[in-house]
Amino acid sequence: MAYLMMGLASLVGGIIQPLTGFGAAVIMMVAASAFYDMTIAPTLVALICMAQSSTMSWMYRRRIDLRQIALPIGLYTVCSLVIINLLGRFDLHVLTALFGAFLIALAAYFLFFAKRVRMEQPGLAAGLLCSAFSGCCAGAFTIGGPMMALYFVAIARDKETYVGNMQFLFFTTNLINFAMRAVRGYFSAELLPMALLGMVCVLAGLWIGLRLSRRMSGDVARQVVYIGVGVSGLVTLVQELLK
């Protein structure tokens, strides 16, 4: 069941990423958190996501604007590493409940408020705030895309630059974060078959998603995905509260 669910989540995550610019980690974390604790699940998801983000970074390599994103990536990485180093001190029961609440808030934001939120000519302060918050979320749950998407959309010259910047952010930070998680003992050889399955499925999903992106609205995809995410978050939160 774990292999089936993770394979399916990776496939769906791979499809949604080209449509929205982010979201693969959200889908995979919903599945991974059902089978692994909140130290192992983000580690596995970070490794699987690297297969997709590295591929998309290469595809959009000519549109990546390092001058725009170097400082946000640096702060994002520092904040995520701080949280990863603190994970061992957290009660995993509480952390899982927080993850459920985080998914509910994430779904509510994108379903009801995202279209109303815009950044007009964001300055350095806005970029640092988004980077710090996103880095903390990435360190705890491997989900740092939403706030960074808000900022990167505002500063990007065009859609291709936005996608390239986002995927380069995900690749570099997931690589560093995975290395730190592995050093902390959150990854073992037993997880390799699951990771390899996830990588194959996420790349298959990427292939499908790139073709769907020419025909399907990203808004429709987001609504379907985040309704599912909100329900999963509610179930996770209720289960933890009843334990």
Could you report the per-residue pLDDT of 140-159, keeping only the tens digit for each? Answer: 888 877 777 777 777 777 77
219 confidence band (pLDDT: 50, 70, 90): low
H helices present in 156-191, as ranges:
159-183
Q: CA-CA distance, 33 to 56, in Å (whole number)?
A: 25
Q: CA-CA distance, 150 to 120, in Å (whole number)?
A: 11
Position 117 pLDDT exceeds 80: no
pTM of the predicted protein model: 0.80
Position 48 pLDDT exceeds 90: yes
The pLDDT tens digits of the residues spanning 94-114 come to: 777 887 788 788 778 767 766
> Residue 47 has which token pair?
């490794």
The pLDDT tens digits of the residues spanning 128-137 come to: 888 888 888 8
Segment holding 242, helix H or strand E:
helix 218-242
> Residue 45 has which token pair?
């998801």
Mean pLDDT, all residues of the chain: 82
89 confidence band (pLDDT: 50, 70, 90): confident
% of the chain beyond a pLDDT of 90: 24
User: What type of residue sits at position 200?
Assistant: V
User: For residue 150, what are the contacts with CB-CB under 8 A and spacing of at least 6?
Assistant: 117, 119, 130
